[in-house]
Amino acid sequence: MSQKDALLTKAEKKKLVFLICIILTFTVMNGTMFNVAIPDIAADFSLDPSEVTWVMTSYILVFAVGALIYGKLADMYAIRSLLTIGIILFAGGAALGFFSQSYPQLLAARMIQAAGGATIPALAFIIPARFMPESRGRVFGTVSATVAFASGLGPITGGLIGGTFDWRYLFILSILSVTAIPFLRSWLPHEERRPGKLDIIGALLTAGAVTGLLFFITMLSLTGLAVSIGLAVLFVLHIRNHPAPFIDPGMLKDKYYTTAVLTSFLGTSVMFGMIFIVPIIARQLYGLDTMEIGLLLFPGAMAAAIVGQRGGRFVETYGSEPVLKTAFILAISGSFLLSIFIGVPPLLLSLCILVQYAAFPLIQSSTANLLTELIPSEKTGIGIGMFNLMNFLSGAVSSAIFGAFLDLESTSLQLNPLTLQENVFLQSNLFLAISLTALGALLLFSFIFRNRQREQKEARAAAAEEKTL
């Protein structure tokens, strides 16, 4: 990629960011829209609950692994080529799903969609780091705000389309994404093929380990856990001797990188956990229908969109670390407020959700910006790919753990003495646990990163002294 090609004008950046956010909206909504369609799909194909969950599980499996692999490929191949292939697969899978007449055909469509759709969030965080380094914090904020907003818009859109027409029409929005290809190919800078080879064995071992882990998380499969552990051990042995491993061991040994990814995983688990359990609780405690549940979440999604836009500027002005700490404080506060006020009228509950929702784009944008500071530019793809993989895993982990918690139905144990209602101790305790998870992430991040700025100053001083000698 020449220097001229790498430079984008302000107008070109705005057009490109806008287009990426539109496509990203389709991708995120594609995941959340189908949550509300699961009962209709089960009825159409006469499926048991355990069978119909594969509509979501198959998508998660392929999407999570794909996010990591595309990140690695982005270190070698042109982003616009990867996005072109991804969007074609995404729209093609949607077309197959729209015309599906059998359950196996629907599953195949969802997996093809996931194989293509994984390119979009994976590369949406790499594009600012590569082509807009001077304004990447702001763009990360916009991208993260889009993810948060689309996750809240998905259930409302799914309820409207599925309720008015048929669940198959949910695929229409995904099909429309193919219209973005000419613009992406025109607006994205040209890149030359970079040196490097894909460690296929390492990629397969990683994919197998992640798949086994997801089987364990989503289906409590001990076989999946055993497979995941076994393949993870083989992967560690493999990368020790490979000249160009799929994941650089040195990157994983960097305490700052691993801590940033881990705290992002915990923070995103808190956010996805809230988004997952609020609809269930809203149906159980308040008897809200799908549209009303969507409206309960919508103010938070709007707040996240607004905060995300501002958050990118905060990252550029104050740095990633202070913004990330602020985000965790918001997540702690929102969860704790929900623990106190769960059971009160939905309007007040919506305000508590808003506080926690606002943390989501700040966690995403500040962590993405921090990772670009911690990893070399030639490893941005795989570095961000790990970030995306862990974020996606966080959704599966939080859904499984918090869902199992809600299966208890009720408890007489009151962990939060401030809880206002007496019949909601189980839900209150769950939100308290979420708040403590966010607190743990904040304490871990603060402890590990406490000396980073001093180390950076010492390194700069040593480099300057070496130059004078």
pLDDT tens digits, residue range 118-150?
Answer: 898 888 888 888 888 888 888 888 888 888 788
Residue 42 has pLDDT above 90, yes or no: no
Q: Which CATH superfamily is domain 1-194 in?
A: MFS general substrate transporter like domains (1.20.1250.20)
Cα–Cα distance for residue pair 392/452, rounded to 1 Å: 28
Tell me what pLDDT residue 142 has: 87
Of the candidates 307, 314, 315, 358, the residue with the CA atom closest to the CA atom of residue 335? 358
Give the tens place of pLDDT for each residue, 88-101. Answer: 999 999 999 999 99
Collapse the DSSP code of 469 into the 3-class scheme (helix H, G, I; strand E, B; otherwise coil) and give the result: coil
Question: Rounded to an integer, what distance in angstroms lies between the CA atom of residue 369 and that of residue 266?
Answer: 17
Q: Is the pLDDT of residue 446 over 80?
A: yes
How many beta carbons lie within 10 A of that of residue 9, not counting itself?
8
> Any alpha helices (H) in 99-135, and if so which ranges?
103-117, 119-124, 126-131
CB 126 within 8 A of CB 384: yes
For 1, residues 6+ apart whose C-beta sits below 8 A from its C-beta are 189, 190, 191, 192
Nearest to 332, CA basis, from 449, 450, 433:
433
Q: For residue 301, is pLDDT > 60? A: yes
Decide: helix, strand or coil at residue 461.
Answer: helix
Reference 131, options 72, 84, 60, 78; nearest CA is: 78
Q: Supply the DSSP symbol for 284.
A: I
Is residue 1 classed as helix, strand or coil in its secondary structure?
A: coil
Beta strand ranges found along 193-283 (DSSP E): none
Using the predicted structure, report yes or no on whether residue 368 has a pLDDT greater than 50.
Answer: yes
Phi, psi of 183, deg, nearest 5: -70, -45
- Position 330 scores a pLDDT of 94
**Where are the domains positioned within the chain?**
1-194, 199-245, 247-469
Residues 6+ apart with CB under 8 A from 164: none
Lowest mean pLDDT among 48-52, 73-77, 191-195, 344-348: 48-52
Tokens in use for 205?
């071992």
The DSSP secondary-structure symbol of 424 reads -
| Residues composing the chain | 469
325 pLDDT exceeds 80?
A: yes
Quote the percentage of the chain above a pLDDT of 90: 24
CA distance 336 to 444: 19
CATH superfamily label, 247-469: MFS general substrate transporter like domains (1.20.1250.20)
pLDDT at 5: 40
Of 269, 338, 340, 267, residue with least CA distance to 297: 338
Please give the model's pTM, rounded to 2 decimal places: 0.81
Give the burial string for 99-121 (b: 16+ CB within 10 Å, else e). Answer: ebeebeebbbbbbbbbbbbbbbb
